[in-house]
Amino acid sequence: MWIQLIVALLAAVATMSLGAALLLASRLRREARLARARVLTGDDDRSGDLHIAQERAPELHEGLRRLGELVANQEASGQLRRNLASAGIYSPTAPATYLGYKVALFVLGFAGLATVLGPVEMQVTQRVLLIALGSSAFFFLPNLILANRRVRRREEVQQHLPDAVDMLEICVSAGMGLDAAWNNVAEESRKVSAVLADEMELTNLEINLGVGRAAAMRHMAERTNVPDISSLVALLIQAERFGASVVQALKVYADTMRELRRQRAEERAEKAAVKLLFPMVLFIFPPLLIVMVGPALLGLFQTLGG
C-alpha cells in the first residue's frame, strides 16, 4: 500500500509541476507579446505597459477575479489589501484575484488528489484525510508566497534604508529642501534597491497630491512594516515641531541606523552557529561515526563470529 501511495504522490507532484510549467510558459508568451507591442507602439513607459497589460489580460485571470469577488468579505478584503500592499501589490482588483487563485487551487488540488488516490487501496478515512490535507496545502500556498514576498521586501528596505538616510542627510546639508532631497534620494536609490525607490516615490507622490509629509511617511512605514521608518517619521516630526536642526537630527539617526545594522549582522552571525548544529548532527556526524567506528565493529563481529 505504501508503494502505491508513494507512486500516487509522485504522480500528483509531476502533474502539478507540469501545470506550473504550462502557466509559466503562458506568462512568458504574454510578456513577449507585450514587449512586441511596446516596440511597435514606441511606448516604453510604465503607464503604457500597464495599459497594454490591462487590455490583454487573460480570460483566466479575469475569471478568477470574478470568482474571488463572490467569496470576498469587505472587512477581510481591507486587511488583505494592506497585506498585498506590503508585498508591493497595489492593484484595486488584487484582493479578489488573490482569493480567486486560492479557491481555484483548492478545487484543483481536491480534484487532482481525488483522481490520483482513487485507485489506491486504502481506508476511506485515510483517503479523505489525505485529500483534505493536500487540498488545504494548495489553498494556503498563496499565503506562503505572499508572506515570503513581504519578508523579502521588508528585509531589502531595512538593509538599504541607512544608506538612503545618509544620502538624505547629505542632500539636506547641501542646502536642498527636504521634499527635493527625498525625491533625489529616491532616484539614486533605484540603482541599488528598486523596492525602496518605489516606496519613496509613492510617498513623494502622496505629498504632491496634498497628503502631509508625516502622514505619507507613516503610510510608507505601514506598507513596508519597517520600524526604522516609523522612527525616522517621529524624528522628522519632532525636529520640525520644535525647530531643531533637521541636518543634525538626520546625522545622529544615520549613525544610529548604521550601528543597528552592524548589530543585526552580528546577531545573524551568532545565530548561524546554532543553525549549523542541526545539519551537522543529521548529515555530518553519522557518516563520520560510520567511517571511524565501522571498521572496528566489523572486526569485532568477525572475531566474535569466529
Give the CATH number of the domain where residue 215 resides.
1.20.81
Mean pLDDT of the chain: 77
The answer to whether residue 33 sits within a structural domain is: yes
User: Of 76, 108, 139, which marks where a domain is finished?
Assistant: 139
Same domain, 49 and 170: no
In a domain, 301, yes or no: no
- Is residue 306 in a domain? no
What domain range includes position 255?
155-261
78-to-42, 100, 216 alpha-carbon distances in Å: 38, 16, 19
**Predicted confidence band at 4 (pLDDT cuts at 50, 70, 90)?**
low
The pLDDT value recorded for residue 46 is 43
pLDDT at position 53? 43
pLDDT at 219: 85
What is d(CA 168, CA 213) in angstroms, rounded to the nearest whole number? Answer: 15
Is the per-residue pLDDT at 273 higher than 60? Answer: yes
Q: What is the pTM of this model?
A: 0.66
Cell representation of residue 80: 488583505
Q: Is there a single domain that holds both residue 114 and residue 207?
A: no
Tell me whether residue 183 is in a domain.
Answer: yes
Q: Looking at the domain assignment, is residue 49 inside a domain?
A: yes
**Predicted local distance difference test score (pLDDT) of residue 10:** 60
Question: Band of the pLDDT at 77, cuts 50, 70, 90?
Answer: low
Same structural domain for residues 165 and 224?
yes
